[in-house]
Amino acid sequence: MMGSDQAKVVCPDCGAELREGALFCPMCGQAVDGARTAAADPHPTREAISADEPSVPIRSFRRGGLPLTGLGLIGLVVVLVTALVVVAAGGMFAASGTSPSGSSGAPPHGNGIPSVRNSLGPTPSVPASSATPAAASGRWVDAGSMSNARYGFKLLLLRDGRVLAMGDQWNVFDGDRGATIQGSESIGSLHADLWDPAANGWKTTSGLNLNRSNYAALVLRDGRVFVAGGTADDPLHCFSSTKLFDPDTETWRQAAGLNDWARCYPAYALLPDGRVLLAGGTDIRNKALSSTEIFDPTTEKWSKGPSMPSPRTNAQAVTLKSGKVLLVGGASSAGPATSALLYEPSSRSWRSAGSVSSGILVALQDGGALVLGQSCARLDAVSLSWRAVACMSQSRVSESVATLADGRVIVAGGETQGQVDASGVIVTTLTATVEIFDPATNKWLPAAPLPSARENAAAVLLQDGSVLVAGGDLGMQGAQTTPQGGHRIQEFLKTALRYWP
């Protein structure tokens, strides 16, 4: 929230009120006049944090995903098959990788959950990695700890510069909650956290009334946080409800629910007029949907949108500079989707945008987009055609991704290798390396590594040009015996880091 002693800065494009010193508008992405070319660390004498990062105790965990019937079984097969593929160029582990979400995680990115990557789609000829041996840039500093450890959650930049962390995928589709979350349900959605850049720390705030994951979440033009759809823990079903969070009062209230179907795994994006597009997903019968709905924040009601050419669930969507919405990835009953779609708001129509393999989808400042997967591709803003670009020098999945204020793309951490241990479960190897993609040259450059490796963390660009990375986990660590049987071990994190370019 803006203090009375702070100078008010207004976005020249959408009119949103910004924090003093903001490099860009978090609502529309417009650069602010007089923006600095590089972020300045307000703590120039602070030492980079040590590798001895605190974490929560090891707990039993079964990684969530699509329901294990119908499409969920297809998703599980894709995950298990691709998890055992060794990438020839480096012996790396190719597997399923989250909105956001958001988190997640994603958040201003995608749907916030680990994206489903696969080797079944078209694989363009990819040039050799163009990462150079230049000195690593930037530095990492401590950014406090959330009240709860979170994995596959949403991290959203609010209009006043604070960051909201909510949701998780600790135990979705895991029937053994007694061994997972202190004898009860996952609490990540029930309790949210707010990060304050002035204090460089976190505080607990109100969360959703029921735990949910795999839902749509973004910040509306008026500054409120929008949440719709998603998957419940118990009983296992999809939500049709819509929730709105007011950052000023830190309270939630309910808006009108979806008209046609409760939806799990929807794709979503903010339209140029401030409305929200919700596309595809699965219904309560676990059937992939082609239908869409559009939410109007003014009336707080939904209306029917144009259907996609074919059903799709767990896809990713971003709003391009042109105002059109690009949708890639996901799956249908026929298997992984390899076609990209473009939604034109003015004509309310969908059209093909070529073919591209699944991966993390990032909108670029030139109006195009970047897909980071087993192969990497870039969408040309003018021709709307895809061309192969170099991938990172170190292959990975479940990485954290954010767009920097200057338009470059930072990729941090992730999973580089996996193998099946004697107990029959996957043990993974993580990386702390960080690389930055420069759209001007299509090259990758090394950046300062994370203090310690992590995967499935959420990342978001802050108004001062730094990047906040929070939560995640330390990978699969074999199996342990519990009263419910043998389970994979997962250690979750609640610590946060801040990257200064």
pLDDT bracket for residue 410 (50, 70, 90): very high
pLDDT value, residue 223: 98
Do 1 and 121 fall within a single domain? Answer: no
Q: What percent of the chain has pLDDT over 70?
A: 65
From the list 354, 256, 353, 341, the residue with the least C-alpha distance to 306 is 341
Residue 391 tokens, joined? 């991938």
pLDDT value, residue 340: 97
Do 187 and 208 fall within a single domain? Answer: yes
Do 17 and 80 fall within a single domain? Answer: no
Q: What is the pLDDT of residues 339-362, one digit of tens each?
A: 999 999 999 999 999 999 999 999
Structural domain for 18, as ranges: 1-35
Q: Which amino acid is at 204?
A: T
Which DSSP letter does residue 242 get? Answer: E
pLDDT > 50? residue 112:
no
Do 104 and 25 fall within a single domain? Answer: no
Do 151 and 10 fall within a single domain? Answer: no
- CA 65 – CA 187 distance, rounded (Å): 18
Do 16 and 151 fall within a single domain? Answer: no
Do 124 and 1 fall within a single domain? Answer: no
Do 17 and 127 fall within a single domain? Answer: no
Do 491 and 441 fall within a single domain? Answer: yes
pLDDT value, residue 4: 41
CA angle 88-476-480, nearest 5°? 135
pLDDT > 90? residue 219:
yes
Which DSSP letter does residue 202 get? Answer: E
Distant-in-sequence, close-in-space partners of 458: CB < 8 Å, separation ≥ 6: 100, 101, 102, 103, 104, 105, 106, 107, 112, 150, 153, 154, 155, 165, 400, 469, 470, 471, 472
CATH number, residue 143: 2.120.10.80
> pTM of the predicted model, to two decimals?
0.76
Do 28 and 118 fall within a single domain? Answer: no
Do 209 and 186 fall within a single domain? Answer: yes
pLDDT > 60? residue 177:
no
CB 153 within 8 A of CB 165: yes
Distant-in-sequence, close-in-space partners of 419: CB < 8 Å, separation ≥ 6: 93, 426, 427
Do 140 and 15 fall within a single domain? Answer: no
Q: What is the pLDDT of residues 271-315, one digit of tens each?
A: 999 999 999 999 988 899 999 999 999 999 999 999 999 999 999
Q: Tokens 């976005």 appear where?
A: 11
Q: Give the chain's domain count.
A: 2
Among the ranges given (39-53, 278-292, 401-415), the one the predictor scored with the smallest mean pLDDT: 39-53
CB 397 within 8 A of CB 95: yes
